[in-house]
Amino acid sequence: MSQNAAPPPPHSLLDYVRLFFMFAQNSLIRDMTFRSNFLIELVTGSVWVFMNLGFYLLIYQFTDAIAGWGQYQFFVFIATTILVNSMVQVFFMPNMQELSELVRTGGLDFALLKPIDTQFLLSLRKINWSSAGNFIVALGLLVVSLGQLPGQPTLLGACLYPLYLIAGVLLLYSVMMTLAATSIWLGRNQSLYDFWFYITSFSRYPMEIYGGSTLGDGLRLAFTYLIPILVVINVPAQLMAKPLDADSAYLAGYALLATVAGLTFSRWLFKRALESYRSASS
């Protein structure tokens, strides 16, 4: 190619969709190569879901509500938690775990040479199909729980629910990418990556429990506005399990803004980190 030749045109959205399905197919073939391991991971994930559900069934033998959430309302919350987390584990978790290792070993050099968006490649090149079993179990739990709630969900809530599930996944992804991108500067950031598990554990409970004290109010404000992980599960679960009111409408609007802001910031930080990257051969 001559020095004055124009660079190739950027890939279209359809090209990226096709590439994603190719990644998904290759990952499925790789998982099926080790069927026993795939089945074990599938079963253990489902067992964990049922054990978690059994724990809360025991709790509801001694109380009618947890922070204003009745038994089947809370089961909708649990189902939403599993749905969001299973999608994160299927699409993003294995890739974010390997980013630090790619930087350390120089494997990131090869990713940068590919004629596609680097963040897309590093985020979706591996799909963890074994985590999809939890998604199916959570759908069943959601349907059964909603059947026990008269008048829920509303038509608007049911229509918005998939949108906010995706928004929750993308918001968690933005937090994960922000932390993982720091490995480009640090070389190894396992402790910061572990921090993702610590902070996302707060999203697994209704935000109403973070109140009534200075510490609780502080945690609720911090994890709603500073690191907005409380809206990840609470917003879609409220849309399905509770009547819509002014507070839930406000949180729903804020959740979309937080998702856009989180994705924008993580994209900016990733690009800045790449600008500082020095290849393994340099």
pLDDT, tens digit (0-9, with 9 covering 90-100), for 53-99 = 889 999 999 988 888 899 999 999 999 999 999 999 999 988 888 88
Q: Which token pair is 79?
A: 């189902």
Q: State pLDDT tens for residues 122-161.
A: 999 999 898 888 899 999 999 999 999 988 788 888 899 9
Model pLDDT, residue 141: 93
Point out which residues pair with 251 in neighbouring strands: none
pLDDT of residue 115: 85
Among 11-20, 181-190, 226-235, the range scoring the smallest mean pLDDT is 181-190
Residue 149 CA, distance from chain mean position = 27
pLDDT top residue among 165 and 281: 165
CB 132 within 8 A of CB 199: no
**pLDDT tops 70 at residue 191:** no
Q: Which residues contact 222 (CB under 8 A, 6 or more apart)?
A: none
Tell me what the pLDDT averaged over the chain comes to.
85
Cα–Cα distance, 35 to 157 (Å, whole number)? 39
Ordered by start, the domain boundaries in the chain are 13-275
Amino acid 282: pLDDT: 54
188 sits in the region (left: phi over 0; alpha: psi -120 to 50; else beta) called beta
Does the pLDDT value for residue 9 go beyond 60?
Answer: no
CB 55 within 8 A of CB 143: no
CB crowding 22-46: b at 16 or more within 10 Å, else e: ebbeebeeebeeeeeebeebbeebe
The more confidently predicted of residues 195 and 102 is 102
pLDDT-derived band at 10, boundaries 50, 70, 90: very low
> What does the pLDDT read at residue 192?
62
* % of the chain residues with pLDDT over 90: 35
Residues in Cβ contact with 224 at an 8 Å cutoff, skipping those fewer than 6 apart: 207, 230, 231
Please calculate the CA angle 218-223-228 and round it to the nearest 5 degrees.
Answer: 150
